[in-house]
């Protein structure tokens, strides 16, 4: 499969969305809405639930399946209010020592007039900064399209996993091609050069694990979540934050030729 075929695959409507993941992996999910600053953004779904017997906070992008749903959640493109809601729920999780599990699937933050006026940059920057220091375990799973700062805003985590046919990228291959070559039709070539598939990113050390899709997907994911949550919950909060800091600070890994 070429990189661009993966992109198309990652965008398929038939892929499981946040609702399916919640239904199949968690019990007693209760949705919590709103940024408490004036708005509810449907493009991010959040709430609390049990994972096995552990209370957790679940947050994820929501694209919707039908046209009506797509419009209601803006095709998974969030506004500042969405990121602020996500951060509010994450801080709540920290207070009650609940691990956080996020599901990432977005074409990017919404490029709109209102989003800009309401501080898109500040909302994303704050979410990223605060997530980096939250004293509770965080696991992020890229399930479809993980695109731009809009993805990262809920994906600064102790473990970052990718479903095998998902992508994680700085911007869409179409956007990339139109900036670099002034031609969105070169997206296929861009996708190849950008190294955005799960395997490329795992090879470069930018993600931790690739999860299989298909029949076994949910079973494997459930098992891995159980194992890693058990492990992460044993780590002292201070150590956890320190390790998360180092994970991003030295994200270049072996590529990093810098010395102080």
Can you give the binding site for another protein, defined by CB under 8 A? 109-113, 115-122, 124-126, 128-130, 132-133, 148-149, 152, 156, 168-171, 175-176, 179-180, 193-196, 201, 204, 206, 244-245, 248-249, 251-252, 255-258, 260
φ/ψ of residue 236, rounded to 5:
-60, 140
| Minimum CB distance to another protein, residue 232 (Å) | 18
For another protein, which is the closer residue by CB, 96 or 255?
255
For another protein, which is the closer residue by CB, 16 or 159?
159
| Minimum CB distance to another protein, residue 257 (Å) | 5
| Minimum CB distance to another protein, residue 167 (Å) | 10
Distance between CA atoms of 61 and 105, rounded to whole angstroms?
A: 5
| Minimum CB distance to another protein, residue 139 (Å) | 15
| Minimum CB distance to another protein, residue 104 (Å) | 12
Is the separation of the CB atoms in 127 and 153 below 8 Å?
A: yes
Which residues, in sequence order, are bridge partners of residue 146? 106, 168
| Minimum CB distance to another protein, residue 258 (Å) | 6
For another protein, which is the closer residue by CB, 92 or 132?
132
For another protein, which is the closer residue by CB, 96 or 248?
248
For another protein, which is the closer residue by CB, 92 or 192?
192
CA-based torsion, 41, 44, 50, 54: positive or negative: negative
For another protein, which is the closer residue by CB, 27 or 203?
203
Angle between helices 187-194 and 173-180 (to 10 degrees): 100
């Amino acid at each position: 499969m070429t990189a661009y075929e993966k992109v198309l695959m990652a965008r398929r409507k038939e892929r499981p969305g946040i609702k399916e993941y919640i239904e199949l992996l968690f019990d007693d999910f209760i949705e919590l809405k709103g940024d408490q600053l004036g708005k509810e953004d449907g493009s991010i779904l959040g709430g609390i639930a049990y994972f096995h017997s552990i209370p957790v906070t679940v947050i994820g992008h929501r694209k919707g399946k039908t046209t009506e749903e797509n419009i209601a959640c803006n095709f998974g493109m969030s506004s500042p209010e969405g990121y602020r809601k996500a951060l509010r729920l994450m801080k709540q999780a920290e207070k009650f020592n609940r691990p956080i599990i996020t599901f990432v699937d977005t074409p990017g933050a919404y490029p709109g007039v209102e989003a800009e006026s309401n501080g898109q940059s500040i909302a994303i920057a704050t979410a990223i900064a605060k997530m980096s220091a939250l004293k509770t375990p965080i696991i992020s799973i890229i399930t479809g399209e993980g695109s731009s700062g809009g993805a990262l805003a809920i994906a600064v985590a102790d473990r970052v996993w990718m479903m095998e046919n998902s992508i994680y990228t700085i911007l869409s291959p179409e956007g990339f091609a139109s900036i670099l070559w002034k031609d969105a039709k070169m997206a296929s070539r861009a996708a190849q050069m950008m190294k955005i598939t799960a395997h490329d990113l795992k090879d470069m050390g930018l993600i931790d694990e690739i999860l299989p899709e298909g029949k076994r997907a949910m079973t494997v994911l459930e098992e891995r979540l159980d194992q890693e949550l058990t492990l992460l919950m044993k780590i002292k909060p201070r150590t956890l934050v320190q390790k998360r800091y180092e994970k991003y600070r030295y994200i270049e890994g072996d590529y990093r030729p810098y010395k102080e």
